[in-house]
Each structure stands twice: as C-alpha cells, then as structure tokens.
C-alpha cells in the first residue's frame, strides 16, 4: 500500500486522481504510466488519503466533486475524501481565484504543526506537490530557512517551501516519507532542502515534472548530438489555456521557470546553441490541450543546412499525472531502500530540472534505463 | 591509412568524396560525422583509391569532374582518380541514364575476375556501395548464389550482389577487407552472404544507411515507448528530387524498400501500431533537399489523445555521406579486430535494416553507446 | 421545398443526411454550410426522399440504420426511407464490399427506365451523386453515349454516367431537375453530358466537390500570385482511412483523379510551377479524419527564398457534406431560373474541376462573390 | 520619374535599395513586387535621392557602404548618396546602437525647417518611413500636435510623427508629395494627421506594411469564413533575429503593435474568435529569416472539429521591401490624381492596419482587385 497526500487539487492532481481510480478499476489501460505494471509496488496499491488546496470553492468539498470539474467521468470511488485547507502565501495571487490558507488564520509555525498533526492521522507515505507555479527565491542556508519559518516571514516563503518543511518534520517523527515536487520551485536542486530531507528521512524527487515539449526536445537534441550535427538555433513555443499558462502570464512566476536548468541545451549538445525555449502564451479555449511548435536548424555533413519543425497538440495535465503514478511508487521504494535526500536516477528521467543542483541533464532514453536499474528492474535495451 | 573504393559514383558518393577532402584539408568542420575525431583511425587517414560506375557520362572521367556536377566546390585534391567501369545488370534501367557495364562486355565470372584483378592493384581496405536502389531477390542458399555467378544468370543478380561476391573473393585472397552496403539490397541480412563474408575474411556492414526520417521516427517512437504512451497510428511521407527518389517511382525498386525491416515499429513499441512509412514522390526542383512530414497520434494517461507532427527540409546525400566517413573507419577496425561476417553493434546505429537477419531495431541512442563500446570508445552517457 | 435523392449512401451522404436533420431540428449550428441561412431556399426546406446504393448490407435497410454506422448520433427523423438498389457496374470492384446493382438483374436500358419510374414517384428536384471514385472514360460524342446505353455496354459506362443519363431522361419528362456531381467522373466537364443536360432541362453542377487541401492550396497560391512571389515547387500529401482513400489505392481509380484539372497551378499562378499534388495513402485508423501536409517554396523580393508548410487534421466527409447543403438549394434555384446545362458560377466555388470544360480555376474568394451574385445575394466584400 | 527619400536606413530600406537597383539593371526578376511592370509608372523610373538615419555608424557614410552590410551583393549604382542625419527622439533607445539626431543639436521646430530645406533641394515625390518600431501616443487634436512641435515637447513625439509633420510642410510648399508609413505608428489611422495631410497636399499610405504571417492568416481566415466554418481559436507565433524583433522585446514598443487593428479577426470572420497573434521572441541567429507558426481550430459541418497548422521560414525585410516598390509608384499616382489625405484602396491591400481609422480589414484578395482598379488597372479575376 502507498498512501498519498495531494498538495494542490488543480488540473494535474484531478486527472491523477481520476485516471488512477479508472486504472485501478480496470476501466482504462495504464497508458502514460511509464512503468505500468512492472514495479513491485502495483498501481492498485496506491491510495489517495488526503488532498489540500486554498481555493475557497474547493476547500471543504468532496474530492469527487472537485475532480469532476476537470474530468466529467471522475469515478465514484473518489468520494469520501474532503479537500482540506492548505498553505496559501499568495500562491494564487493575480489569478482569478478567491483563496484562503492556513496562514491566513495562524502563524507559519502553527500551520506546520497543524499539517504535521493532520498527516500523523492520515499516515501518508508520499506527498505530491502540484501547486500552481510560484514566484520563489531558493534558500541559501539552513538558518535562513529556519528563521523564515520561526519568524513567520510570509514574504520569504512559498507554499511549496512550507509544505516540504512540514513533510520533513513529519518524516522525522514517523520514520520516513517521500515528497514529489512536480513544480519549478527549487527543492531537489536546493542543497538546503536536500540536506534537511536527508536528516529527516525524507526522499525528495524534483524539480518540475518532465512533460510538455522539453523532454521531446531533449531527445531530438540527443539525436542530433549523436550524429554530430551542429545545431544552429532552437526556437520552441507553447501556448495553452489552463491555469498554469495563465499563471505564467505573470512576470514574476514566469521568472521562476528560468531557475529550471537552462543548461539542457549545453548538457545534451556539449555547446550552448542559441535557443528560445519558453512558455509563450495563454489562450483560454485551448484549455488543457496545448499547442507546441519547435524549429531547429543544424549543419550536416559537407556544410549542408537542414531544418526540422515539430508541432503538436498535447494534453498537458495527463502527461504529468501519468508520471506521478510512477513517482509515488518510486517514493515508496525510496523509503524502503532508505534512500533519503534526493535520487538523481529518478529525477533524471522524470524531472525537467533533475536535482541535486550540480547534476546534468542526460538523454532521457539513457536516463530511463538507469532509473529502471535503480528501481530493481531489468534495463529494456542495454 | 584506410583505402576506399567507391561503388556507384552518384550523389552520395560525390558528397562523401567532396566533404571528406574538405574536412581533411581543414576547410570545414566534421559536422555530420558521428564519431568525428574520436576514433583511433583518423579522418585524414581515409584515402579514396578507386571509383566505379556504369553511367557512360562518368566512366573514364576524372573523379573531380564527376563530383563537381554534384558539388561545385569540389576540392582539387580529387583529381587523379579515373572513374572505372563497374557492374550494370540493369541497375539504371528505367532511369534516364545511358549505361554500360563490364557485364555488357564479358560474363559475370569474367567481370568478377576483372574487378578482383583491379582491386589487387588498388589495394582497398573498404568498399562502400552506394549504387542506386535495386530491384532484387535475396539468395536462399550458397549453391544458388554460386550457380548464378558461374552460370552467368544475369536476371538473377544485381550489381550489389556481384560486387559483394567479388569483394569476398578479394578479401579471401588478400587477407581481409570490409564492405559497407548503404543501400536496401539485403546483404548483411542475407545469411548466405554473411556466411560467405565470414569465410572470406570480409566484414560486411548493412543494410541501407540509416538516414532520412526513419532514424528520427525511431527515436520519437522510443520516446513514446518509454513513457508508455500508446501509439495509434503513424503516417510518414517524404518527397525529393534526386535520382534515388526518381528510381523509387519505379514499382519494382520501390518493393525492394519493403525488405527493409518493417518491424521497426514493432521492435521499438512492442506492438505493431498501424503505420504508413514510405518514400512518397519525386519532385525534381527539390533536388537533394527532401521534404519530410510525419504524423503520430497516441494515447496518454487518463485516455487523453495527443498528436505530434514533424516536418523537415533535409539534405539527403550529406546525411548518408557523413555516416560513411565513420563506416569506412569502423570497417578498418573490424579488419584489425578480425571481426568478419557482419557486426550488429555497428549496423544497429548506422543502418535502417541492421543485420544479421534475426536482429531487432533498438533505440538509436542506445545503439550509439553500444557501437562506441565496440569501437573501443567510452560510452557518452552510460 | 427541395426534394433530394442521394446516389451512393456512403460516408459523405450519411454525414449529409445526419447533419442536415440536426441543423433542421436546431440541434447544431449550420457551420460548414457556406450560405447557411442566406439563400431564399432555406435549409429546413430540404427533404431527402430517396437513397440508392449497391452494397448488399445497405440495400433494403432503413436510412437511419445505415447512417448510424457513420454517425452514432444520427437523428431519428431519418427513419422511414428505405435504401434502394442502384447502378453497380463494378463501382465497388476491388473494395472489400459485396455489391449487386440493378444492372446485375436487367439491361442498362431497363435499369434507366426502372430508375426514372421510381423517381417519377419520389419527385426529386435534385440528385446528389456521392458514389465512390470511379475508373471512367469520358464520352466523346452523343452517339457513343446513346450506343453504350442502348447496346448495354457495361464495360464502357460507370454508375455515375448511367445515373446522369437517367436523371436527364427524368428531367425531360418532368420539366426540370438538377444533378450535383460531387465525384471526379467528368460530367460538367464532358460537353456530351452538358449538351444532353441542356436539352433535357437538367442543371448539372460538377465535377468533384472542392474539399480537402486543394481549395486551401488554391487560396494560398492566389495569395502568392497577388504578391508576385515566384513559386518554385509545391508538394501536397494527404492520407486518410475512409473508403475513398481505400478506393484510391486502386491504380485505375487513382487515374480518374488525373482528369481533374491539373491546371489549377497554372490557372492561379499564370505559370506551371512544378508540383506533386496527389492523394497519397490509406491508413485505416485515421478513419474519416485525414492528415494533410503541404510544402511550398517561393522567391520573394531581392531573390530571397521563403517556404511555408501547412499541415492539418481534417474531417473529410463533413467538409463535402456541408457544401451539398448549399448545392441542393442552388440546384433548386437553377431549376427556377431555368439555367440548364451547367453553371460555371456555382462550379467555380464548389468544385475542384469546375465545368464547363474550357473554364479556368479562379481564386475561390473571388468565385465565392460571383456565386453569391448568381444566387441573387449581395457580394460580401466587393 | 519618382524621386524617393528613405527615412530609416535599416534592413528593410537597404534591401529595398539593393533589390530596386538590381531589378532596374535587369539583374533579377521583379518577384515580390505585386504590380511589377503593370503600372504606368515603371520600376526603372524610381530614383532614390536621399536617405536619413541616426545611427552614428551610418550617418555621413555612402549609401552603398551601408546597404552592403545587409546585402553583400549591393549594386555599385547605390554609390553617391550620403546618409543624412535624421530625427532621433530616442527611436533607438534600449537598442545596442549609438545614435544622435538633428533633435540632439536643435529644437524640433528647427529640425523640421532643416529637413524641409534639404528636401526642397532633393525634390522627393515620395517619402518611405521604415524607422524601427516606436513607442508612441497618437494625437487627439491638431492643437496638441502643433503645440508639441512648437513647444519642443520631445517626450510627446516620435521620429515618425515629426517626419510626417515635416513632409506635410514640404508638400504644402511644393504642391504635393506622398508619405508611405510602413511602421505601426498611427498616421493614416490618426485623423489629426490625415486632416493635416489633406490640407497640405500630402498623400499618406499606412499604417504598418502588410508582411509576415498576418496577411496569410487573413486569407486563411477568409477561406474559412466563406465556407462558414466556425473558428474556435487562433494562435500565431513568430520569432526572428533582426533589429525589429530585438526592438519588440522592449515592452513599450511592443505595446505599439497593439494599436494595430486587432479587429482583423472580427473584420474577416464576423465574430471575435479567441486569438493570440503577437511577435513572440528574438533569436539572433535567425537574422532576417523569421520562423512563424500558426494554429487554427474550427468547426465544420455536423459538428466536426478540424485543425490546421501553418509554419514557415520567411525573409522578413524583402517581403516589405517589395511592397515599397509598388507603394512609391502608387504615391506618385496619388499625387497625379491629387488624392491627398489617405487612400483606403491602397492601404487595404498593402497595410496591416489600413487607414483611415474607421475602415475595416477585408480579404486581401478582394483588396488587391480594388487597389488595381484604383490604380487604373484591369482587375485580374473579377
């Protein structure tokens, strides 16, 4: 059994919950879940035990009701869990959403204690953090972090930063837990948090789930690198209509994306080909189905100039939600293996910005094999 | 030093010759040559010692003149080699080219002897076969092959099939050689030829150089496979204006493409997703720069349907010519390692239809690493 | 009221029937019907009174049942019409469909009389011909046509050629009718048929309904022509999974597409830019939703070379079915205006190969305005 | 003879100058010039008599030298014209260019007098304004404009606004001139300027030359409108590497693009389909060759959902430069016809934001025909 607490009951979390229950019930095939039935921890072993949000239209409502707004075919098995009030800290600032968090009612320290208290009852193994993209500042030292919590410095912290702090507290008290950070806020890439996690028996996976155009771009760049084709330039656009794209129209949040290792191009090609790789726009009717477009020019043998263009219509939330079904199970495995801190082998395949801080991006196809081996599976092609 | 004989002095061979000399002279960077300067056998060690064709406008002319028709900037260092008459056997039938071959003047057995005689003077290490795509029938037994040669059965054999036979003869007499078959005719996938090669101390790489849209499709399919996305259908078009596209408008030749492992989809995905992957048309003004278009639909998590479209403008001949610069050096290494017959580790990365017959396609990124290790290099990412 | 008889109850006809009833019932908006509510003859005035096919699984069944196989949401209002046996003449040869036609039971002359007899009861104003693409030979003289019918020359005639002959007979006897030929068989472009139609008070619209990539290509070419950009080459692919694409894998039928004015490029650009514009392949899972890809290179000012690529996923049958909703009403108007023979103003907008024979393709945007004026409407932009 | 003064000797003006001279010399064909040889005023009648800029590396240098930086094949016939100092007013602010203008040495009133003085010697018929995109505020009243000039209010005015004021002065004194405003600053759409022009015998064409993806989008939208397909959403990206894209990374300037009639979607479709149509990014290696990508979803008949994607590589400056070759000649014709103020018939085809203020966008194919008729030519298709 893997008990899961969801932090941020938005699009991704709702598709995760809905798809998970459908797969468990045998209603749909486990497509989009990389390791499907291969892991010793099975999909049917996953159990959602709690969910947190700050949207006033969600807090206090039944999970089934909330999920249904995103997927009309949400299974009935989601009934019985009530969405709880989480940390706000202006996570939804500038978005057209009315929100109140625990922090609007108590100090941060009290909120942390409140959460740890609830979690001791829910007994989760794994937390998945799928809050809206935040404008954040990483922590430089443990003291700075402790002071921010203790001193109730609300402007210094984001919801994610508080959640991980609380999860570490919980892990320390209960003997082990895992935290999957699927958003760009630096956690697995922040040595302060990795150190805290290691000490507290918390396994952290992160940062920023590897979905969308970037992993495909990565594999296409690897394709060119292996043939020694010289990439001249890379332009990559994407536009969508979900809240995450809306959030990125906010300048400050958009900057948080820049913390994501922009070194992916250099890591894979071995040189820094000029590139423009950014979330580009918000167009509401696209909803969760984003449009991506990518243009790459390169030099082939004898000085020949080639170009390829990739366009796509991709459902944004299912891509990430499917990865989460693996990540919660890998979290459980990390706890069992007592691999606390962060796990590069997992991050390298599943995350856009694989922690720890000093580690590179590698071709995902290679990362996939390494991750399999970490999880005790046979490699597929090696 | 690696001495090379070219069989079929068309677009690919001419770009190979021209680009090779430019790289050797330091005029251009070795882009498009996967292993560039990494191999112990260096690019500057490659020396073209002979070239064969059957086009009456090429035979007897200086290599520099012939290459110049394909690349106006062909280096002067190509002067001094005269294009020799090779095997025809109607290889250029239906193409608007006047051709005569050795076989128009003598029996096949005599032609083989003639070639072996010339090669003993030229002393090539490696042959690269870049004849026009042929309509062919693979051989089922050694006897059938021997009888075809001895019995002068011209309708049973293609130019390639005779060339390999002669190369085996040459290797047997001289102690070792390598044959790179960059066209679809089954050689590395024909057990009869592999057996003959092994006995004769000939290393054969083949079949059908892995250029164009297919290797990219392979990596994209691997990308989906690793995420357990279920591919619904694949349509892949390409159209070009060089002689190879013109040749494929001929029904019989086009069929020869079908021998190419159509199992690439099944090999990489694990199931046979419906697909249409074929050379599509000839449009002369496109010349060597082909247009490719690919459409893939797949199912992601929670039943979501996604699609991606890849289009590109790609110079056809340089892509293959760059691979040949590696393959001749790997041929030399195979001779040194005495690895005769065929070498899957090399074929799996460089060939569309990697021999031997019963071997699968694997993701090219993995194949690349295995090939490096075979060649004595460090893997790049493993 | 416009009474309609359908010839060929396949995908297009079924989407026509289903969509028409939904629009009439106010269940969906009239999207895809160019003139929507603008014409004096209203959409709700259209009434399907008969349907003909030769597929043994369709003949004798209720129209609602047949349509439901193509559109699960077919309205109940389609009940009450029984699909009748039509002309076969091997129209479905080579397709995996069992078929028998009137011509399998009687002479062609008798079949014509049989049809005219049925139609005199059904009293249709307009026939819409949406049979599967046929391999055909146009008629050179009236005598040849008459002899083919009278002499029961089954190999000389296609189903369409017989249907038009019968429709002319019916029109002559009843004082006027219209025939919409939405497939490539030359009717509006065959002077023999146009003459016959004129004499018989039959208005013929044709040939080959202007759907798919070609009308868009036409407008894009017009766009370049007006800016005096010099088009270097045009490649256009399309692949689909419906019966029409399957039928085109048959070489003979495919040739029938070649009768379609290949002069579209010359007509719009003023010169014959090299082009490859052909249906390309069949891939069953695409079903009615085809994938198109188009590549155009051109020269701009100061010798600059530009290129555009258009790709699309397009529902094939609805595009044509929507045009038919206009065409049946324009047929009624032609009868009222007594414009028998063929009407270029209508054909130029709605048909790929606008008759009569000697007339050119013009930009569709211009054709649209001229067609409006013919139909008594104000032009939209002029 | 048409004498031309260039305002802003950047990429577009340089390609204009270079291409014009090549066409005049018969070295290249007049591709990209819509009316080519059709107008009574011939291309060879165009003569560049002056050029203005504020870049310190350009002012005082020979035109040939400046143009050569943009087109290495600039003809020698461009020698003999010295680039003069123009109006700056921070037009190049935030760009990595050192600039000084007349306004850095004298009052605006004096600068206007200075320019008019020079122009009386150069005797231009037509001015073409191709300054870098400006951050501007339109004028609400004549008084406001006069006060800004007289009161030397440098923060209120842009270079373009001063240039048109000076051109009007010049036209009034000399009996007629034309001003082509190819950038977004509202001139032909600012009633204050149109009134001033009319009184001063100045013909103004504007605003914002219709190049790039937008005119193509317009024709594609018209294509859908005529078929009554309901457009659900439109996303259009473009990225380039020339100074104009760099300038648009500046927030203020980018806003100036928003003055451009965003009503193009509403004008052509008849409703305001949700859209994202914006210059998107700057990527230097793309240089003048931009990458565009466009995605359009629409509803066809029977509720079917279709989508098309257009991508392209387009040389930015030649597209506009080619139009300028027409516009200077149409300017001369306007002077001859004494059509002062602004001319919608010309603007509707050549401009993204056709003035006057209250006029709509219409399909370019229709606009083209109307423009031809205004210029005294036969329509091509009507």
DSSP letters along D38-86, please? TSSS-GGGEEEEEEEE-BTTTTTSBHHHHHHTT-TT--GGGTT-BPEE-
The C-alpha of D367 sits at a distance from chain A's nearest C-alpha, in angstroms, of 30
Q: What is the pLDDT of residues A98-110, one digit of tens each?
A: 999 999 999 999 9
> What is the predicted ipTM?
0.94
- pLDDT (0 to 100) of residue C262: 64
Minimum mean pLDDT range among A366-375, C370-379, D258-267: D258-267
Same domain assignment for residues B87 and B49: yes
Same domain assignment for residues C12 and C66: yes
Most confident listed range (D253-262, D281-290, D338-347): D338-347
Residue ending a domain, choose from D272, D291, D315: D315
Same domain assignment for residues A199 and A251: no
Segment (H or E) for A3: strand A2-7
Q: Minimal CA–CA distance to D223: which of A291, C328, C326, C218?
A: C218
D315 with C300: CB under 8 angstroms?
yes
Q: What is the pLDDT of residues A176-221, one digit of tens each?
A: 999 999 999 999 999 999 999 999 999 999 999 998 788 898 889 9
The C-alpha of C271 sits at a distance from chain B's nearest C-alpha, in angstroms, of 15
Nearest to A315 among B222, B304, B369 (CB): B304
pLDDT score of D250 more than 80: no
Same domain assignment for residues A272 and A139: no
Burial of B45 (0-12, 13-18, 19+ CB in 10 A): middle
- pLDDT (0 to 100) of residue A277: 87
pLDDT score of B315 more than 70: yes
The mean pLDDT value for B272-286 works out to 89
Give me B335's structure tokens. Answer: 């001779």
D240 with D291: CB under 8 angstroms?
yes
The C-alpha of D344 sits at a distance from chain C's nearest C-alpha, in angstroms, of 14
Query: Phi-psi category of C107—alpha, beta or left, where left has phi over 0 and alpha has psi -120 to 50?
Result: beta
Q: What is the pLDDT of residues A57-81, one digit of tens each?
A: 999 999 999 999 999 999 999 999 9
Q: What CATH number should be reported for the domain holding residue B264?
A: 3.30.360.10
Q: Please report whether residue C106 resides in a domain.
A: yes
Q: Minimal CA–CA distance to D382: which of C267, C382, C374?
A: C382
Give me A344's structure tokens. Answer: 């590069």
Same domain assignment for residues D121 and D240: no
Residues A316 and B130: their CA atoms lie apart, in Å, by 45
Same domain assignment for residues D311 and D327: no
Residues A125 and A4: their CA atoms lie apart, in Å, by 6
What 8-state DSSP symbol labels residue C45?
G
Is the whole model's pTM more than 0.80, yes or no?
yes
D191 touches chain C (CB under 8 A): no
Bridge partners of residue B293, in order along the sequence: B237, B311
Q: What is the pLDDT of residues A258-312, one digit of tens each?
A: 666 567 899 899 999 999 988 778 999 999 999 999 999 999 999 999 999 999 9
- Give the pLDDT band (50/70/90) at residue C202: very high
C201 touches chain D (CB under 8 A): no
pLDDT score of C250 more than 80: no
Residues of chain C contacting residue B274, judged by C-beta atoms under 8 Å apart = 283-285
- pLDDT (0 to 100) of residue C364: 87
Query: How many H helices and E strands in chain A?
Result: 13, 12
Q: Please report whether residue B381 resides in a domain.
A: no
Closest chain D CA to residue C350: D227
- pLDDT (0 to 100) of residue D258: 63
- pLDDT (0 to 100) of residue A250: 74
Partner-chain contact B291 C295, CB within 8 Å: yes
Residues D290 and D278: their CA atoms lie apart, in Å, by 13
Residues A58 and A275: their CA atoms lie apart, in Å, by 40
Q: pLDDT above 90 covers what percent of chain A?
A: 84
Q: Minimal CA–CA distance to A327: which of A12, A11, A58?
A: A12
B303 touches chain C (CB under 8 A): no
Which chains does chain A touch, 3 or more C-beta pairs < 8 A?
B, D
Residues B178 and B335: their CA atoms lie apart, in Å, by 7
Residues of chain A contacting residue B312, judged by C-beta atoms under 8 Å apart = 306-309
Q: Please report whether residue A159 resides in a domain.
A: yes
C302 touches chain D (CB under 8 A): yes
Residues A66 and C7: their CA atoms lie apart, in Å, by 51
- Give the pLDDT band (50/70/90) at residue D93: confident
The C-alpha of B160 sits at a distance from chain C's nearest C-alpha, in angstroms, of 31
- Give the pLDDT band (50/70/90) at residue D260: low
Residue ending a domain, choose from C298, C315, C332: C315
Same domain assignment for residues C330 and C370: yes
Q: Minimal CA–CA distance to B78: which of B29, B10, B21, B27?
A: B21
The mean pLDDT value for A235-240 works out to 91
Q: What is the pLDDT of residues A158-184, one digit of tens each?
A: 999 999 999 999 999 999 999 999 999
pLDDT score of A92 more than 80: no
Nearest to A319 among B34, B35, B301 (CB): B301
Residues C320 and C32: their CA atoms lie apart, in Å, by 9
- pLDDT (0 to 100) of residue C356: 96
The total domain count for chain D is 2
pLDDT score of B90 more than 90: no
Q: What is the pLDDT of residues B73-86, one digit of tens each?
A: 999 999 999 999 99
Question: For residue B126, what are the contacts with CB-CB under 8 A and spacing of at least 6?
Answer: B2, B3, B4, B5, B177, B178, B179, B180, B327, B328, B331, B332
- Give the pLDDT band (50/70/90) at residue C85: very high
Same domain assignment for residues D21 and D146: yes
- pLDDT (0 to 100) of residue B261: 52
H-only helix segments in A58-190 = 63-68, 108-122, 142-150, 159-174
| Partner A, chain D 270-289, Cβ-Cβ below 8 Å | 274-276, 278, 280-286
Partner-chain contact D313 A291, CB within 8 Å: no
Q: What CATH number should be reported for the domain holding residue D151?
A: 3.40.50.720
Q: Please report whether residue C382 resides in a domain.
A: no
- pLDDT (0 to 100) of residue A278: 80
Q: Please report whether residue A193 resides in a domain.
A: yes
Residue ending a domain, choose from D298, D315, D332: D315
Q: Please report whether residue D382 resides in a domain.
A: no
pLDDT score of D256 more than 80: no
Residues of chain D contacting residue C322, judged by C-beta atoms under 8 Å apart = 227-228, 300-302
Domain that holds residue B264: 213-315
Listed in order, strand segments (DSSP E) in C287-375 are: 289-299, 305-315, 341-342
Residues C308 and D217: their CA atoms lie apart, in Å, by 12
Closest chain C CA to residue B281: C276
Residues C372 and C359: their CA atoms lie apart, in Å, by 19
Same domain assignment for residues C19 and C155: yes
Q: pLDDT above 70 covers what percent of chain A?
A: 98
State how far Cα D131 lies from the chain centre: 9
Same domain assignment for residues D174 and D56: yes
Nearest to A283 among D233, D281, D313 (CB): D233
Q: Please report whether residue A380 resides in a domain.
A: no
- Give the pLDDT band (50/70/90) at residue B47: very high
D282 with D291: CB under 8 angstroms?
no
- Give the pLDDT band (50/70/90) at residue D261: low
Segment (H or E) for B223: helix B213-226
Closest chain D CA to residue C222: D365
Partner-chain contact A29 B230, CB within 8 Å: yes
- pLDDT (0 to 100) of residue B256: 66
Helix, strand, coil % in chain D, rounded to nearest 5: 40, 20, 40
Residues of chain B contacting residue C230, judged by C-beta atoms under 8 Å apart = none
Closest chain A CA to residue B214: A223
Bridge partners of residue C52, in order along the sequence: C7, C84
Give me A333's structure tokens. Answer: 């495995």
- Give the pLDDT band (50/70/90) at residue C30: very high
H-only helix segments in C264-315 = 264-269
- The rounded mean pLDDT for chain A is 93
Sheet of A84-85, strand order: A84-85, A46-53, A2-7, A126-129, A177-181, A202-205, A341-342
Query: Phi-psi category of D212—alpha, beta or left, where left has phi over 0 and alpha has psi -120 to 50?
Result: left
Partner-chain contact C302 D368, CB within 8 Å: no
Q: What is the pLDDT of residues D19-71, one digit of tens each?
A: 999 999 999 999 999 999 999 999 999 999 999 999 999 999 999 999 999 99
Residues of chain A contacting residue D289, judged by C-beta atoms under 8 Å apart = none
Bridge partners of residue C310, in order along the sequence: C294, D310
H-only helix segments in D159-305 = 159-174, 191-200, 213-226, 243-248, 251-258, 264-269
The mean pLDDT value for B171-198 works out to 97
Closest chain C CA to residue D362: C381
Most confident listed range (C246-250, D252-256, D285-289): D285-289
The mean pLDDT value for B191-208 works out to 97
Residues B249 and B271: their CA atoms lie apart, in Å, by 30
Minimum mean pLDDT range among A128-137, A147-156, B60-69, B238-247: B238-247
- State the count of interchain CB pairs (< 8 A) between C and D: 193
Question: For residue A255, what are the contacts with CB-CB under 8 A and spacing of at least 6?
Answer: A135
Other Cβ atoms within 10 Å of A95 Cβ, number: 16
- Give the pLDDT band (50/70/90) at residue C260: low
Same domain assignment for residues B286 and B160: no
Torsion angle of the four alpha carbons A22, A27, A33, A37, in this order, in degrees rounded to the nearest 10: 110
Partner-chain contact C301 D226, CB within 8 Å: no
The mean pLDDT value for C223-239 works out to 94
- The rounded mean pLDDT for chain B is 93
Q: Please report whether residue D379 resides in a domain.
A: no
Same domain assignment for residues D310 and D322: no
């Amino acid at each position: 059994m893997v008990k899961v607490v969801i932090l941020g009951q938005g699009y991704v979390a709702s598709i995760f919950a809905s798809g998970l229950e459908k797969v468990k019930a045998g209603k749909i095939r486990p497509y989009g879940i990389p390791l499907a039935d291969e892991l010793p921890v099975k999909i049917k072993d996953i159990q959602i035990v709690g969910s947190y949000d700050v949207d006033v239209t969600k807090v206090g409502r039944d999970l089934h009701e909330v999920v249904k707004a995103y997927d009309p075919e949400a299974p009935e098995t989601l009934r019985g869990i009530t969405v709880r009030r989480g940390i706000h800290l202006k996570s939804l600032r500038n978005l057209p959403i009315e929100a109140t968090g625990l922090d609007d009612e108590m100090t941060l320290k009290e909120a942390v204690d409140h959460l740890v208290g609830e979690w001791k009852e829910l007994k989760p193994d794994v937390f998945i953090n799928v809050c809206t993209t935040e404008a954040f500042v990483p922590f430089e030292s443990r003291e700075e972090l402790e002071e921010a919590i203790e001193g109730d410095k609300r402007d210094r912290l984001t919801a994610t930063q508080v959640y991980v702090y609380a999860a570490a507290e919980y892990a320390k008290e209960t003997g082990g837990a895992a935290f999957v950070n699927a958003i760009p806020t630096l956690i697995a890439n922040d040595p302060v948090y990795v150190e805290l996690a290691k000490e507290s028996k918390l396994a952290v996976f992160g940062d920023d789930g590897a979905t969308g155009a970037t992993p495909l771009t990565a594999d296409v760049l690897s394709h060119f690198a292996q043939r020694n084709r010289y990439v001249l330039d890379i332009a990559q656009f994407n536009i969508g209509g979900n809240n995450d794209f809306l959030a990125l129209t906010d300048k400050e949040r958009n900057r948080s994306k820049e913390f994501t290792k922009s070194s992916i191009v250099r890591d894979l090609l071995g040189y820094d080909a000029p590139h423009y790789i950014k979330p580009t726009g918000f167009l509401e009717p696209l909803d969760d189905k984003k449009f991506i477009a990518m243009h790459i020019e390169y030099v082939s043998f004898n000085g020949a100039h080639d170009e390829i263009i990739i366009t796509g219509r991709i459902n944004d939330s299912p891509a990430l939600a499917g990865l989460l079904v693996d990540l919660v199970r890998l979290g459980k495995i990390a706890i069992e293996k007592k691999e606390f801190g962060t796990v590069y082998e997992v991050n390298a395949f599943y995350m856009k910005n694989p922690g720890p801080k000093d580690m590179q991006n590698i071709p995902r196809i290679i990362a996939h094999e390494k991750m399999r081996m970490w999880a005790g599976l046979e490699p597929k092609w090696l």
